[in-house]
């Protein structure tokens, strides 16, 4: 089995364990809602391509189950299905005025262990999310300036070359604050994603040996409780 994929599967298993743990005070709090925000992406290329980073939007639906409280730590699992615009924007410093960017639109599904500290059922909590994430490429498009001259570039293999692989996977984690009220739960979170897979083929006969996403997310969420 691919070592990177094995790591992801282990993290899925750890996330699911948090739902079934029985060593603390049991909880049966199931919440659903939606999230939205911004993401800032770059691609780890080898050979290296200089980039400014690429900013896009993200948003989707969230489901969370809190299973127990162990001492002061509230434990659960969270599942999301999000749309995200990622990609890269090349940094071209040859005074040509050329510009190039690639937008890649994904459906992303993170499987998260959710750990929180703070007041319940009302009040403020600090929380941490960690787990694997998979993604499916929906579409992509590249934008370049008129009269773009690729002969001035050191690395040109990416121009006009669409992704070889639609499936993406990696590890994501973040932290944030949650305000729990009678009208629902309001969350703000910062999150980081490190891609373990490559969207281009990276065998010895291929040009690139790495082409993977790294993403920073800033997002807000609203969840309402279906059960407690």
Q: Is residue 124 part of a domain?
A: no
What is the 8-class DSSP label of residue 203?
S
By the 8 A CB rule, do 32 and 63 touch? yes
Query: Would you say residue 129 lies in a domain?
Result: no
Asked if the structure places residue 208 within a domain, the reply is yes
Residues 151-204: tens digit of each pLDDT: 878 899 999 999 999 999 999 999 999 999 999 999 999 999 999 999 999 999
| Closest among 47, 2, 45, 77 to 214, alpha carbons compared | 45
Q: Residue 125: inside a domain, yes or no?
A: no
Domain of residue 84 covers 3-119+135-162+172-227
pTM for the whole structure: 0.89
- Residue 21 pLDDT class (50, 70, 90 cuts): very low
Distance CA 143, CA 130 (A): 34
How confident is the model at residue 9, as a pLDDT? 58
Residue 7 has pLDDT above 70, yes or no: no
Write the DSSP symbol of residue 23: S
Tell me if 107 is assigned to some domain.
yes
On whether residue 85 sits in a domain, the answer given is: yes
Q: How far is CA 222 from the centre of its chain?
A: 18
Return the closest-CA partner of residue 161 out of 40, 38, 49.
49
Q: Omega of the bond prior to 121 within 30 degrees of 0, cis? A: yes
Residue 199 lies in a domain: yes
Q: How many domains does the chain divide into?
A: 1
Alpha-carbon distance 135 to 109, whole Å? Answer: 6
- Cα distance between the two ends of the chain: 40
Quick one: average pLDDT of 204-209?
97
| pLDDT at residue 94, rounded to an integer | 85
């Amino acid at each position: 089995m691919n070592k990177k994929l094995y790591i992801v599967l282990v993290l899925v298993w750890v996330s699911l364990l948090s739902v079934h743990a029985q060593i603390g005070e049991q909880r049966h709090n199931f919440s659903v809602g939606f999230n939205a925000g911004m993401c800032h992406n770059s691609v780890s290329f080898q050979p290296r391509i200089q980039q400014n980073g690429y900013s896009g939007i993200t948003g989707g639906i969230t489901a969370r189950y809190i299973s127990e409280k162990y001492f002061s730590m509230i434990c659960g699992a969270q599942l999301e299905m999000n749309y995200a615009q990622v990609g890269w924007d090349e940094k071209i410093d040859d005074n040509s005025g050329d510009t190039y960017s690639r937008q890649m639109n994904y459906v992303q599904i993170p499987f998260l262990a959710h750990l929180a500290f703070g007041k319940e059922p009302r009040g403020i909590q600090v929380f941490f999310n960690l787990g694997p994430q998979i993604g499916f490429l929906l579409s992509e498009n590249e934008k370049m300036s008129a009269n773009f001259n690729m002969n001035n570039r050191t690395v040109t293999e990416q121009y006009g070359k669409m992704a070889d692989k639609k499936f993406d996977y990696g590890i994501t984690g973040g932290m944030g604050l949650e305000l729990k009220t009678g009208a629902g739960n309001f969350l703000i979170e910062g999150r980081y994603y490190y891609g373990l897979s490559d969207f281009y083929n990276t065998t010895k006969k291929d040009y690139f040996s790495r082409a993977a996403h790294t993403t920073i997310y800033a997002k807000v969420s609203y969840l309402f409780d279906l059960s407690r």
